[in-house]
Amino acid sequence: MITKITIFGVGLIGGSLALCFKGKPGLHVTGYTHLPELIHTYQERQVVDHATLSMEEAALDADFIFLCVPVSLLGTYLEQLSRLPLKQGCIITDVGSTKASIAACAEQLQLHEGVHFIGGHPMAGSERSGVGAASYLLFENAYYVLTPPEHVPQPAYERLADLLTQHTRAQVIRVEPQMHDEIVGAISHLPHVIAVALVNQIRQYNEGNPLYRMLAAGGFRDITRIASSDPIVWRDILLNNRHIILQLLEDWNEGVEQFIGLLESEDARGIEEQFEKAGAFRDELPERRKGMITKLYDLYLDVPDHPGIIGKITTEIGNRGINISNVQIIESREDVPGVMRLSFRNEHDMEQAKAMLQQNEYSVFV
């Protein structure tokens, strides 16, 4: 018996899900797109078994439907699906970063009897986007949140949870939609807002003094990298979760006001306590599990100012079958060693490169 899995929106997340399912015994993956030029891309990348421009064809006889479209379009797609003759027992799920709004939409639509909506959010991602960045390893060791309504039968929930657990290697957890939005708002949405505000603050200072941009390389660039996230995607996420974000920003302002008070009163011990409490809690955070904000896999090494040295290093790494996702020279001046940053897509590649470089007597830092 063949299980048909349909994915609407075969980009980074949808494409990665497709790669997790494709080729597995008893599973057939169909990908839907409204853009004709993407059909060839899906076929070239071999991410799906079948691609179509027809929503009706994609949904026909589907056992599972994954909505991997922008948050702002989830309600529209769900409404269109509610008007189609879906298979009895079909489970519709999504991958959006907010859950309460789409859960409410599903309740209002009242899907056909025997068809169930279960909200979903794989808490993994990448700084890259599109189907070209898709990987069957994207969800490995990540949390995959499911937010089923109370009336969804337990067997339906277990069918979806089992499918994801078996094929994505993620850890599935069940969370109430509103609680999901509150937690994700705090650990992902708020940091993105803060990063954007901080970078724009420095941008304004830089208009009067270009030294700000020059000296903001390295650490500042790393801690604010999420400010470079897709503006359209994050516009939709923040507006969708705006009530929670507004409350979080009020709480953030209280924390900032507390620091202002500590500085104004020259409370040295109070400042120390803030760092101590933050450090203690941060040390308790899981280290080797994927999360909402993509982990960095970077190596830094000192490189002499020799002709061809960069090409030599990258070639040696490539000859070992290790994939480098990005290369940056932070500083390279005559008679001054440069600092080379190598970025990798996973910890395994980074550790392999580190060992190889150290064997070749390069000074390597993480």
pLDDT in tens, 297-319: 778 787 766 677 788 888 888 88
pLDDT value at residue 333: 41
Least trusted range by pLDDT, from 36-50, 153-167, 276-290: 276-290
CATH number for the domain harbouring residue 331: 3.30.70.260
Provide the number of structural domains found in the chain: 3
135 in the same domain as 92? yes
Compute the mean pLDDT over every residue in the chain, rounded to the nearest whole number: 89
Instruction: List Cα–Cα distances, 146 to 118, 149, 245, 304, in angstroms.
Output: 7, 10, 21, 51
pLDDT value at residue 336: 43
The values of phi and psi at residue 153, to 5°, are -60, 145
Residue 90 token pair: 């079909």
pLDDT value at residue 206: 96
User: Contact 84/55 with Cβ under 8 angstroms?
Assistant: yes
Q: Does 194 have pLDDT greater than 70?
A: yes
324 in the same domain as 277? no
pLDDT value at residue 356: 85
318 in the same domain as 351? yes
pLDDT value at residue 334: 44
pLDDT value at residue 132: 81
Q: Provide the whole-model pTM.
A: 0.80
Residue 129 token pair: 């986007």
Structural domain including 306 reads 298-365
pLDDT in tens, 280-291: 999 998 765 556
Q: Does 17 have pLDDT greater than 50?
A: yes
Q: What is the mean pLDDT of residues 349-358?
A: 86
Residues near 191 by beta carbon (within 8 Å), at least 6 away in sequence: 226, 293
Distance from the Cα of residue 229 to its chain's centroid: 10
User: Contact 142/123 with Cβ under 8 angstroms?
Assistant: yes
pLDDT value at residue 287: 66
Q: How many CB atoms lie within 10 A of CB 301?
A: 19
Q: Does 328 have pLDDT greater than 80?
A: no
58 in the same domain as 147? yes
CATH number for the domain harbouring residue 189: 1.10.3660.10
Structural domain includes residue 354:
yes
Q: Does 332 have pLDDT greater than 50?
A: no
